[in-house]
Structure 1
Amino acid sequence: MNLLHKSLQDGASPERGDRVPRPSEARAVGRDPNAWSLSAGDGRFEIRLTRDPKDIEASQALRYHVFYEEMDARPDAEMARLRRDADAFDAICDHLLVLDHKRPEGDRVVGTYRLLRRAVAESHAGFYSASEYDIAPLLDAVPASEGGLMELGRSCVLAEYRTNATIQMLWRGLSYYVFDHGIRLMFGCASMPGRDPARLAVPLSYLYHHHLAPPELRAVALPHLYTRMDLIPAEEVVPRRALHELPPLVKAYLRLGCYIGDGAVVDQQFGTTDVCIILPIERVAPKYYAHFDREELDARSADDAGSADKA
């Protein structure tokens, strides 16, 4: 499991700064000036940006179900007792949720993302990904004065909702957030199932040979965690096979133009092998509008709906 920063105090509240624009059709939620909610379709589904404790608890319950019950993560005693996937970062992050209002009260959150902006991270104890990767190149690429750096994490969707429609709702909300906050670069740890990198030699080698970040953006796994990704020579990697073996969410990031950092990291607690996703907005901005804001869904991309990403 990634190290938790001990100096991060429960209940800490980051500086919120100025109120940001909401989607024009969204409504305010509670007293948080930055929180908003947007109904989708016939009103059954809702996209919500929140830091409300009750919403966070619902997100944590979903994450526990997917990561610890469906997948191979190992909870500690307190997590198992509460049936929550929780850490100290939850208190300072913004949380993007998809809710299905046809489900029972208290069980309506079916998808979630966790968002951590640079100004918030640096006011507390830094980024979650820094416990696995040296992210100095990313910090240098976007001047702190401009603030436009954001970490993505804890992406998770309930099994029966892993459809293009649900993922599009999550990413539509994400696109609002990205542009409202002037984000220029997103990053995070994306996960592949399994603790044995040798079994992931094909997809890891493909990512290294075809999507390695340029030196100026190349986050590198910390030395004590570093696992080589170039396990197979480039000429022996069959891209079609590699793409078939990649998790849907990683493939979706690749289609948006992401780079991959150098080195994989095995997370024993979560039962995953992680890679660093690096997504400059200048590479994807036109696709954001086309992919997230269109009204008609492209059925051909339904098989690309992501399931979970624990970063």
Structure 2
Amino acid sequence: MAVTSRETQQANEPSGRFVHAFAVTEADIKACQQLRYRIFAEEMGAQIDGGPERLDIDRFDAYCHHLVVRDTEQDRIIACTRLLTCEAAAQAGGFYSAGEFDMGTIARLPDRKVEVGRTCVDAAFRSGAVISKLWQGLTAFVTNHNYRYLFGCASIGLEDGGAQASAILDKIARRYMAAETLHVTPRRPYPAQRPPAEIAMRMPPLLKAYVSLGAKACGAPFWDQAFNCCDVLMLLDIDELAPRYARRFLPSTPTVTQRDDHLPTHV
């Protein structure tokens, strides 16, 4: 399942400065990998060997659809995420998240699934408008192609030693936890800490978007030491999408045509 250049450019009607589309050229995929490197390695301090071109690349990229938000004024990619469908994951040898969690409970869900990963937004464009464009593209894809579940790792940075993470995880445990039957087991659990008595909690934009849409956390977080963060596996059942976001994001008619024979085989 993949996209053609013409179809991708028609993924949404441009409304204002930002538009979403799927990357269909090697140049656009490389731009995603360069943006990821800037955010994850240079900004967050992740241990990534980016090579001379400073790219964040892993073996899953070749199996994923790369969704981007483009700034039409500057004609450049300012946000990106990648989608790994259950069909493509079977070809890739599993989902990326399986490297961090025992995913048995998710694998046993009966309907089709899409994993979202490597989401990042240029520091100068971290606004609700850009995040909304990403979610418009995501929800259009999953609904047009009858995927019921969307899941992925939402990262919480540990740059402050874990104070923010402790407060955020405490809030998640109290308000946004999935049923135990959906819990996954982290392969390297993040050591729980007591939240500071007083802290101005700032939930990361991606995690905030997940919970606003109605997603739930599937148990304890994974400690990603290479990326200096802890990852919470979030699961969204599209059938239970929060009503006001369903009206906003779900397409009334199909908007993107996908084909299986154009999936990128290398990046």
* Aligned CA distance change for structure 1 residues 112 and 139 (closer, same or farther; 3 Å): same
Please give the alpha-carbon distance, in whole angstroms, between the structure 2 residues aligned to 1:47 and 1:34.
9
CA positional deviation for 1:92: 0.7
In the alignment, residue 178 of structure 2 is paired with which amino acid?
A
* Aligned CA distance change for structure 1 residues 68 and 178 (closer, same or farther; 3 Å): same
CA positional deviation for 1:259: 1.1
Task: Pick one of 184, 207, 210 that aligns with 1:253.
Answer: 210
**Contact 1:132-1:221 at 8 Å conserved across structures:** yes
Offset from partner CA, 1:11-48 (integer Å, 9 cap, x none): xxxxx39x9xxxxxxxx515xx7785434225x54321
**Contact 1:100-1:109 at 8 Å conserved across structures:** yes
Offset from partner CA, 1:109-158 (integer Å, 9 cap, x none): 1111100110110122100000011111111122xxx4x21111111111
Please give the alpha-carbon distance, in whole angstroms, between the structure 1 residues aligned to 2:131 and 2:197.
29
1:29 aligns with 2:29: no
**Structure with more contact order per residue of length (Cα contacts < 8 Å, sep ≥ 6):** 2
* Aligned CA distance change for structure 1 residues 287 and 135 (closer, same or farther; 3 Å): farther
CA RMSD in angstroms comes to 2.7
1:60 aligns with 2:33: yes
Please give the alpha-carbon distance, in whole angstroms, between the structure 1 residues aligned to 2:205 and 2:92.
32
Q: Secondary structure at the match of 1:183?
A: coil
**Contact 1:64-1:83 at 8 Å conserved across structures:** yes
1:73-88 equivalences under 5 Å are: 73-76=46-49, 79-88=50-59
Please give the alpha-carbon distance, in whole angstroms, between the structure 2 residues aligned to 1:129 and 1:120.
14
Please give the alpha-carbon distance, in whole angstroms, between the structure 2 residues aligned to 1:212 and 1:45.
33
* Aligned CA distance change for structure 1 residues 182 and 237 (closer, same or farther; 3 Å): farther
Unaligned 5+ residue runs, structure 2? 252-267
Give the aligned partner of residue 236 of structure 2: 279
Please give the alpha-carbon distance, in whole angstroms, between the structure 2 residues aligned to 1:275 and 1:75.
21
Please give the alpha-carbon distance, in whole angstroms, between the structure 2 residues aligned to 1:50 and 1:188.
20
Superposition TM-score, scaled by structure 2 size: 0.83
Q: Count how many residue pairs are aligned between Structure 1 and Structure 2.
A: 250
In the alignment, residue 214 of structure 1 is paired with which amino acid?
A
Give the aligned partner of residue 169 of structure 2: 204
CA positional deviation for 1:216: 2.1
Unaligned 5+ residue runs, structure 1? 1-15, 20-27, 295-311
Please give the alpha-carbon distance, in whole angstroms, between the structure 2 residues aligned to 1:112 and 1:45.
12
Which of 1 and 2 has greater Rg? 1
CA positional deviation for 1:221: 0.9
CA positional deviation for 1:175: 1.4
Give the aligned partner of residue 90 of structure 1: 61
Q: Secondary structure at the match of 1:160?
A: helix
**Contact 1:117-1:150 at 8 Å conserved across structures:** yes
**Contact 1:219-1:261 at 8 Å conserved across structures:** yes
In the alignment, residue 122 of structure 1 is paired with which amino acid?
A
* Aligned CA distance change for structure 1 residues 285 and 149 (closer, same or farther; 3 Å): farther
Give the aligned partner of residue 82 of structure 2: 114
Please give the alpha-carbon distance, in whole angstroms, between the structure 2 residues aligned to 1:287 and 1:218.
27
Give the aligned partner of residue 226 of structure 1: 189
Q: Secondary structure at the match of 1:212?
A: coil
1:1-311 equivalences under 5 Å are: 16=1, 29=5, 36-41=10-15, 44-76=17-49, 79-103=50-74, 108-142=76-110, 146=111, 148-194=112-158, 196-197=161-162, 200-222=165-187, 225-229=188-192, 231-232=193-194, 244-284=201-241, 286-292=243-249
Give the aligned partner of residue 263 of structure 2: none
